[in-house]
Amino acid sequence: MRLITTTEELASACAELASHPFIAVDTEFMREQTFWPKLCLIQIAAGEHELLIDTLAPDIDLAPFFDLMNDESVLKVFHSARQDVEIMHHLAGQVPHPIFDTQVAAMVCGFGESVGYGMLVKRMLNRNLDKTSRFTDWSRRPLSEKQLTYAIGDVTHLRDLFPTLKSQLDDSGRETWLDEEMGVLTDPETYEQPPENAWKRLKMRTKTPKALAVLMEVAAWREREAQSQDVPRSRILKDDALHDIANQAPRSLDDLGALRSIHNGFVRSSRGRSVLEAVERGLERDLETVPRIQRNDPMTPESAAVFDLLRVLLKATAGHHGVAPKLIATSDELEQIARHDEPDLPTMKGWRRMLFGEQAMKLKRGELSLAVQNGEVSVLQVNGDDSSD
């Protein structure tokens, strides 16, 4: 185990790592007090190399590491890569490529939904992980020997399990499934957070187009403030306050102060006036530019029955092909399929459509039926021919 604290050491280590066909990568970070994750440590294992990069070391330049992440000849292996890749995209403006996510690969290979790293290591390597240092403060220096040992373990086990998992994936013939998922993970748009889209992450509690227009402007204002000051969104304004402002559309500081979710200090600050300006922008917005509010009306009894059938079909399909149901379709997607014809959903595209989406549509059209045969759910054509394969 080698701890790297200088740019020269990092450049030399990355040059050595570049000769390996794959490297296992993980990060430790903090984000409780910031908008952007604070990168504290990078772990890499490849061959006999076991490296820890102290990203908080004075004057260290991470450029050699980012160059390695962008080296097309080296496969970067992560477990649950989304947050690690988000950090690198933010710091370097680029996404590592190519990558292999062992969590997704394990779901494709039938290990279950949202496979935990500890469980995967136990099942594939018969090793138990010590997770006692997982939630320690990674920004404090010096890091303890216990922290360093824990951190390097995340990539040494990953290095050891990858070849076996990759072999299982190759034997399954589902490499293209993983390629589709990695395409999403390596798409820069996956990690971009334009303030104009901030309203989309909120639960929809607005009832009119005007309220939604105000919500869009106020949410965008909060996003810009949080990003520029690098603080959590809730430190600027909580979600409940956003909804109150959108629904009440205050036009004055007195109106703003009358909202129970807004404290007096906020009203008296420059932020209070900025919020009122955002409200005005929302009220002046052309409602034709405001998305149509999707109301989650209760499903009709007919749609609810279709939804129940789709759940059975999903479980049967997942079980038959040995893949985690959640990787194929979510409950929300099943509801959308039950409500609408040909909804624009991930499960209706690519390998998911081939595996499940087409059958879901046929089931809705009455071209398929479900039956129990020998204690298992079978999918049948309406003429009685078994189509479970």
Which residue ranges make up each domain of the chain? 2-191, 195-289, 301-381
For residue 210, what pLDDT band results from cuts at 50, 70 and 90?
Answer: very high
Q: What pLDDT does residue 247 have?
A: 95
| Residue 386 pLDDT level (bands cut at 50, 70, 90) | low
Count the alpha carbons within 13 Å of 346 in the hemisphere toward its beta carbon. 13
Place of tokens 């469980």: 119
Q: How far is CA 310 from CA 233, 369, 377, in A?
A: 37, 11, 12
C-alpha–C-alpha distance, residues 12 and 16, integer Å: 7
SS3 state of residue 370? strand
* DSSP structure class, residue 298: P
Find the range with the poorest average confidence among 213-217, 220-224, 289-293.
Answer: 289-293
Using an 8 Å Cβ cutoff, are 36 and 86 in contact? no
Mean of pLDDT over the chain: 92
Q: Could you tell me where the DSSP H helices lie in 249-376?
A: 253-257, 264-268, 270-284, 301-321, 325-328, 331-339, 350-352, 358-364
Binning pLDDT at 50, 70 and 90, where does residue 114 land? Answer: low
The tokens for 87 are 């950090």
Give me the percent of the chain exceeding a pLDDT of 70: 97
User: Is residue 108 a contact partner of residue 321, using CB atoms and an 8 Å limit?
Assistant: no
Q: Give the mean pLDDT of 19-29.
A: 97
Name the CATH architecture for the domain at 301-381: Orthogonal Bundle (1.10)
Q: How many CB atoms lie within 10 A of CB 9?
A: 18
Task: Report, as an integer, the average pLDDT of 232-248.
Answer: 96
Res. 375: pLDDT tops 90: no
Lookup result for tokens 């204002």: 221
Only one residue has tokens 């034997």, namely 171
* DSSP code of residue 348: G
Could you tell me the pTM of the whole model?
0.87
Tokens of 387: 């189509």
Peptide linkage before 325 cis (omega within 30 of 0): no
137: exposed, middle or buried (Cβ count in 10 Å: 0-12, 13-18, 19+): exposed
Specify the pLDDT at position 110.
85
| Order of all β-strands in the sheet with 49-54 | 2-4, 49-54, 38-46, 22-30, 75-78, 99-101
Beta bridge partners, 339, equal none
Give kind and range of the element (H or E) at residue 65: helix 63-69
Q: What is the mean pLDDT of residues 202-220?
A: 92
Same fold yes or no, 195-289 and 301-381:
yes
**Dihedral-angle region of residue 374 (phi above 0 means left; psi in -120 to 50 means alpha; beta otherwise):** left
Banded pLDDT at 123 (limits 50, 70, 90): very high
Check if the beta carbon of residue 37 is closer than 8 Å to that of residue 87: yes
Is 80 exceeded by the pLDDT of residue 383?
no
Q: How many residues does the chain have?
A: 389
Q: Which CATH architecture has domain 2-191?
A: 2-Layer Sandwich (3.30)
State pLDDT tens for residues 152-199: 999 999 999 999 999 999 999 999 999 999 999 999 999 999 999 999
State the average pLDDT over residues 252-275. 94
Q: Is 254 left (phi over 0), alpha (psi -120 to 50) or beta?
A: alpha
Contact 104, 97 (CB under 8 A): no
Q: What is the mean pLDDT of residues 267-274?
A: 95
How far is the C-alpha of 105 from the C-alpha of 42, rounded, in Å? 22
Q: What is the pLDDT of residue 376?
A: 86
Q: Which of 37, 18, 15 lies closest to 27, judged by CA? A: 37
pLDDT at 389 over 70: no
Query: Alpha carbon of 317 to those of 29, 312, 345, 356: distances in Å?
Result: 38, 9, 18, 7
The pLDDT value recorded for residue 387 is 54
User: What are the backbone dihedrals phi and psi of residue 366, each rounded to the nearest 5 degrees, phi first?
Assistant: 80, 15
Give the 3-state secondary structure percentages of the chain, helix then strand then coil, rounded to 5: 55, 10, 35
pLDDT at 293 over 80: no
**CATH pick for 195-289 out of 3.90.480.20, 2.10.210.10, 1.10.150.80, 3.10.450.30:** 1.10.150.80
Both tokens assigned to 371 = 């039956």
Closest CA to 218 of 271, 263, 255: 271
pLDDT at 142 over 90: yes
Instruction: Assign 258 a pLDDT band (cuts: 50, 70, 90).
Output: very high
